[in-house]
A and B are shown apart, each in its own frame.
Chain A
Amino acid sequence: MSIEQQVRDYIIENFLFTNDAAALANDASFLEKGIIDSTGVLEMIFFLEQEFSLKVADKEMIPENLDSVNNIVRYVQSKQAG
């Protein structure tokens, strides 16, 4: 499964509590849409660290890395490349 699909499935099921793929656009801001709040971001970091075997540094916990499916995919790819 692609990174995008894994991230999408996770967000849709665990934050939107649905299986409707249309409920989430890849460029939708989680903060603006109220999908993820300040504690939700920690859940997502656990998920990313567990699923993609990476370590999210404090300074990387920023919306540019984590605030949409597209941002996460880009972030995970850059971590894996690094």
Chain B
Amino acid sequence: MCGIAGIFAQAGGAPPQRVELERAISALAHRGPDGHGFYQQGMVGLAHARLSIIDLAGGAQPIHNEDETVWVVFNGEIFNYVELREFLQTQGHRFYTHSDTEVLVHLYEHYGLDFAHHLNGQFALALWDQNQQQLILCRDRAGILPLFYAVQNGRVVFASEIKAVLPVIGGIPALNPAALDQVMTFWSTLGDTTMFEGVRQVLPGEMLIAFDGGIRKQRYWDWRYPSDDDYHGTSVEQQAEELRALLSDATRIRLRADVPVGAYLSGGLDSSVLATLIRANGITPETYSIRFNDAQLDEGVHQQRMAEHLGVQHHQVQCSEAAIGREFPRAIWHTETPILRNAPVPMMLLSGLVHARGAKVVLTGEGADEVLGGYDIFKEAKLRRFWARNPKSLWRPLLLKRLYPYLEFNPARAQSYSEAFFGTGLDQPNATFFAHLPRWSTTAQSKQFYAAEFKARLNTDPLALLEQSLPRDYAQWHSFNRAQYVEAKVLMANYLLWSQGDRMLMANSVEGRFPFLDQRVIEFAARIHPNLKMKVLNEKFLLKHAFINQLPASIVSRSKQPYRAPDIPAFFHDGVALDYVDALLADDVIKRYGYFDAQKTGFLLKKIRAGRAIGYKDNMALVAILSTQMWHHLFVENRNYSEFIRS
């Protein structure tokens, strides 16, 4: 994995300066500690910070084609580069390195803008076509790797992270109020919006083409589901076999590296399937896990059982509340956005363990829930629909008690209340966002802490905005697939792969690889009938069915435990806050930053200090407020874009 940055001066824009490229790329040193490379000619400048994984000796970037008219800087991996290279060589292309990067320039020469269709990988790239005088920015399908840009004074400034764009565009960054409101609804921003006014992201599956006269965007891939009942017609056994084969191959090509490849092992189904597939490919990976002191959150028993089953060397990082509190500021510096739960921080501690062990690449099971139907909200929605068919039924809502068996403060315990919560939208089971409404309305409760002046600046409805972005045939899809689509495009792309994924991995120069997000797996899974994804209330049924004979029974049969981390306890010990928490949540600082109401925040702090803030809502409100304050402190006040880079 690497970091990329660059500048393209369109009509009237000042040509890029070397010092600007250096400034940008130095903010990405954590992504690429193994060297820098630059290309600069006339109106374009490209920069690259390298983390060596493939072709350690010859893979320095930027890389060019035979006559040096096409140049590329690239962050990521093209897993089918071996096959692409063979094909391109038969077509007469000559290669000067052994890196996967080089296939990009030749593939572009061969197919033009269609080149992205042929890539199987995770990537964010910038390709300069000197003959056409156009710059192409492009991201992978699922959104594994990031790419941000700003258009300012006739220039397109882009980089892997926003902190590398900011020093080039200059000025004092400003928070985009609509973006914060989106985070306070969905856990993430929507679409190309970022927390920073004027900075956008290239969307997953999208290509941005910048030329002298402007910019145009082109979508080359999206999540699609059958609108005409066109599901796989084969038997369950045949579908299980095909899924096994696809996942096996998706894993096989993700083991291509010139350094050892490890694996994250959460103790859940997905990572266990993955580790099994790695073993089946003849490799015994070292595995890595997060442990928590709180028995409610810890999955150590299952991790250990799986590690023993696989016979792997297993490593664990104990994520104490103190460690999470200590690392929180650095995590926000990496996420570049407020967060609602502390869940990203242990992921950063975990990549820290991988780095400390001297490893650079890990495979993870991320994506399986979205692709194969594992989330509780999918189950919840199915139950709520079942209930909606007979809203007066007394026993239908009792099924809700089957959800969340792992929670101490089980929301289903007090039935009348769980009915009130899960009953949200029960009168409109065909609503566009039926599955997501309970989660979003719970999340939105943190908005009660907005300062009145900030609230007055909000003039868009986040749900309406999301609705506008849905594909034309969305309404024709099965309700289960609709929920999958929204989950993949919003929570997964803009939170899980961002705040909890790439940014936490790259904080410690570790590359994650995601076999469940291989497009062949995604496209095959899209045509698995929802009843096979969730058979009655058994989530990821086909995946379990496909691997039932290869996994310990306890792993297959255990109920899914969503990954969670301690929130409030990370910041308060015996009612006493960490120093930075006190400083950022002080009345005058809250007022100066202007996002939240100081009095309300004060009452929340009082409740926390008294040990009474135990609920989901208070924990989420505290993390939301604190992370927003931290974001402002780091990016608006301090503006030290190298603050957490290790020397």
Contacts and interface: CB of A to CB of B under 8 A. Distances in A.
B620 to A, nearest CB: 10
A21 interface: no
Contacts, number: 74
B413 interface: yes
A39 B567 CA distance: 16
Interface of B: 409, 411-418, 420-421, 441-442, 445, 448-449, 597, 599-601, 603-604, 606-607, 612, 614-617
A5 interface: no
Contact of A39 (B601, B604, B615): B615
A81 to B, nearest CB: 23
Interface string A35-64: 011111111001100000000001001110
A77 interface: no
A11 B604 CA distance: 12
Contact of A40 (B448, B604, B606, B615): B615
A34 B599 contact: no
Contact of B409 (A42, A61, A62): A42
Interface string A10-52: 0001101111000000000001001011111111001100000
Contacts of A34: 441, 445
A47 B615 CA distance: 13
A5 B150 CA distance: 55
Interface centre among A13, A40, A47 (most CB of B within 10 A): A40
Contact of B617 (A39, A47, A63): A39
B420 A13 contact: no
Contacts of B601: 17
Contacts of B421: 37-38
B614 A43 contact: yes
B414 A17 contact: no
B416 A63 contact: yes
Contact of B603 (A18, A40, A47): A18
Given A14-B612, A43-B612, A38 B603 contact: no
B612 A39 contact: no
8 contacts: A17-B448, A17-B604, A37-B421, A38-B411, A38-B420, A38-B421, A39-B614, A63-B420
Contacts of A58: 413-414
Contact of A62 (B412, B416, B449): B416
A22 to B, nearest CB: 15
A32 B445 CA distance: 13
A23 B445 CA distance: 16
A40 B442 CA distance: 11
Nearest to B448: A17
A14 B603 CA distance: 7
A1 to B, nearest CB: 17
Contacts of A41: 414, 417
Nearest to A36: B417
A74 to B, nearest CB: 16
B599 A38 contact: no
Nearest to B412: A38
Nearest to B616: A39
B414 A38 contact: yes
Nearest to B599: A18
A5 to B, nearest CB: 17
A71 B523 CA distance: 54
B413 to A, nearest CB: 7
The 4 A-B pairs at the shortest CB distance, nearest first, are namely A39-B615, A38-B411, A17-B600, A17-B603
